[in-house]
Amino acid sequence: MATNPMHQFNVYRIGPEIKIAGIDISFTNASLFMVISAVFICVLLFFGTREKKLIPSKLQLIGEMFYNFIAKMISDTAGSKAKPYFPFIFSLFMFVLFCNMVGMLPYSFTVTSHIIVTLILAIFIFIAVTIIGFIKHGFGYLKLFVPSGVPIVLLPLITVIEIISYLSRPVSLSVRLFANMMAGHTMLKVFGGFVISLGLLGGWLPLSFSVALTGLEILVAFLQAYVFAILTCIYLNDALNLHH
């Protein structure tokens, strides 16, 4: 059981069973690690913003680096109109990043390795972006599906493709994050299992793989959080500045 690479993704209840209108919303290990990640972010930012130093302390510098990083990302991809959405993008990036990073700790649980979590985030972004687009441009937002400069013969086909690609955004966004996280952690677990089963004699090779994979997974954890946030920015850019 313990050597099953999928075992780490099991969700189990912690504490009493909570049911509202017949729906089970008990506190689980997934909930626990969401809370841990959020608390981690808050503690980091709290100590990062406690002192207002002209020359920042290390924690303050980390907070300011995150701030500048995301501010630059938003202004590069979505322009100045996206400024009101900065807190959301910031929260999203921090939450995904810290869930990924906390998941890298041994015996922890990776919140973002569950399709339901990433799907809810992606669907929320999808719906929010669509609403923003319609508020900003009215029905003119539908021009997004009709690119200009396309031969009239190809236009119906292109429009259908555009609509399909637009509707598949939440799926691609959520599956990308979920699959990356799950695959990485499964691989780590498989190589970890090899180390145990091959023992002192042959375990060194998978151990070295494991070490290398841990580095790779940390990179992936950061990269996927970045990709998630920047794709959100790009979708937001489509809604705010209609280019087609």
Is 113 a residue that touches other proteins (CB under 8 A)? yes
Is 194 a residue that touches other proteins (CB under 8 A)? yes
Is 208 a residue that touches other proteins (CB under 8 A)? no
Which residue's CB is nearer to other proteins, number 62 or number 163? Answer: 62
Which residue's CB is nearer to other proteins, number 59 or number 104? Answer: 59
Is 88 a residue that touches other proteins (CB under 8 A)? yes
Which residue's CB is nearer to other proteins, number 142 or number 190? Answer: 190
Is 127 a residue that touches other proteins (CB under 8 A)? no
Among residues 172, 179, 184, 170, the alpha carbon closest in space to that of 115 is found at: 179
- Residues 6 or more apart whose CB falls under 8 angstroms from that of 30 comprise 11, 109, 111, 114, 117
Q: Tell me the window of 28-36, 127-135, 156-164, 232-240 that interacts with other proteins (CB under 8 A).
A: 28-36
Give the number of residues in contact with other proteins, rule: CB under 8 A: 59
Q: How far is the CB of 185 from other proteins (least distance, A)?
A: 11
Position among 57, 72, 105, 120 found at the interface with other proteins (CB under 8 A): 120
Judging by beta carbons within 10 Å of its beta carbon (0-12, 13-18, 19+), is residue 242 exposed, middle or buried? Answer: middle
Is 95 a residue that touches other proteins (CB under 8 A)? yes
Q: Tell me the window of 29-37, 135-143, 210-218, 227-235 that interacts with other proteins (CB under 8 A).
A: 29-37
The DSSP line for the chain is -TT-TTGGG---B-SS--EETTEE---BHHHHHHHHHHHHHHHHHHHHHSS--SS--HHHHHHHHHHHHHHHHHHHHT-GGGGGGHHHHHHHHHHHHHHHHHHTSTT---GGGSHHHHHHHHHHHHHHHHHHHHHHHGGGGGGGGS-TT--TTTHHHHHHHHHHHHHTHHHHHHHHHHHHHHHHHHHHHHHHHHHHHHHHHHTHHHHHHHHHHHHHHHHHHHHHHHHHHHHHHHHHHHHHS---
Is 6 a residue that touches other proteins (CB under 8 A)? yes
Is 64 a residue that touches other proteins (CB under 8 A)? yes
Q: How far is the CB of 143 from other proteins (least distance, A)?
A: 31
Residues near other proteins (CB under 8 A) are: 1, 3-7, 9-11, 13, 23-28, 30-31, 34-35, 38, 41-42, 45-46, 48-49, 52, 54, 60, 63-64, 67-68, 86-88, 90-91, 94-95, 111, 113-117, 120-121, 178, 182, 190, 193-194, 197-198, 202, 205-206
